[in-house]
A and B are shown apart, each in its own frame.
Chain A
């Protein structure tokens, strides 16, 4: 079985500062990795995904994530956040072709 840990339930950061949201996973098989964003009162939207190839993945809105197989991590980063990045962020894993397992989420609050 797979599991996903997001170590920080809440991350406050000032506008224009860098941010890293941490994600670690556990799986006995190879997985695909995803980050989704949920803005208030909306559904989830895909930020980026790692399927294969380069371990550094770039997504929408200036976000990027790096897959580290030895540490089973897929941390999300942005060099300079905006107020509009305030949202909840979910890390998810999917064993090849199988159902997704989501982490508990990290609430990012960008302060002026």
Chain B
């Protein structure tokens, strides 16, 4: 099992550009999450999904969109990147009835 994988690992964007981050899991987990990690602030939830075709906003959703067309994939989109979105992004997943999240290795995004 690969677990939770994230693509790409690193990316540099210019302000106003768009991009999509891909998260994939092979554990048949129902729930998937996108977090951002900033120094001194821990992890903050951007969006999450409790099943294929469903998404919901987390703590800091502005400027991001998500889609979960397939159970194993959760996409995070930035339509018009801003320097404030420079961060490390983590994807996580879990079974609906087991309270333990599994994390991907992260994507380091820099917006100039």
- Which residues of A pack against B, CB within 8 Å? 4, 9, 32, 34, 36, 41-46, 49, 51, 90, 94, 97, 99-100, 102-105
Contact = CB atoms under 8 A, between A and B. Distances in A.
Nearest to B43: A102
B90 A99 contact: no
Nearest to B101: A100
6 contacts: A43-B90, A43-B104, A43-B105, A43-B106, A100-B43, A104-B40
A104 B42 contact: yes
Given A43-B104, A44-B103, A49-B100, A105 B42 contact: yes
B48 interface: yes
A100 B92 CA distance: 11
A103 B42 contact: yes
B99 interface: yes
Contact of A49 (B4, B43, B44, B99): B99
